[in-house]
Amino acid sequence: MLKAIVGMLGGIILSVMLTTGAAAQQTEIESTINGQLDAFKADNFEQAFTYATPTLQRLFQSPENFERMVTSGYPMVWRPAEVTYLELKEYEGSMWQKVQITDQKGFTHVLLYRMQQTEAGWRIGGVQILDAPGATA
């Protein structure tokens, strides 16, 4: 009987630890994305560029190139009206954060952020625009 109770308590403690770790991870990832979105709102593309992974930074080479890509290809993240965090999932060594963004015109967009852990913390490794149910462009 005692062994069963100890085993059950161990399972509960492990479950709480895993949930707490996942919640902390979620908070850190959301903080990274929010930091970049705040930098975009302030037109601070140098700061926004720091939230990208080193791989993306090498790809774009400068905050100015990054700015051109964002303002022409991802205007909804440059000037979001509303941001809602959806599910976070792990796949092939990366965390994928789904985010719903309502733009300034009221259109809804669903994006998938590829998040990667670096020495500097969580960084954005790419963003994919998904089809949003009921969205119009």
- Domain contains 135: no
Tens digits of residue pLDDT in 87-109: 999 888 789 999 999 999 999 99
Distance of CA 73 to the CA centre of its chain: 17
Rounded to two decimals, the pTM is: 0.77
Containing domain of residue 60, as a range?
A: 2-130
- Count of structural domains within the chain: 1
Q: Does residue 136 form part of some domain?
A: no
In a domain, residue 78? The reply is: yes
Segment 5-14, tens digit of pLDDT: 655 555 555 4
In a domain, 28, yes or no: yes
User: Is 58 part of a structural domain of the chain?
Assistant: yes
Contact (CB, 8 A) for 29 and 95: yes
CA distances from 40 to 25, 67, 93, 97 (A): 23, 9, 27, 19
Alpha carbon distance 86, 64 (integer Å): 30
CATH number, domain of 37, equals 3.10.450
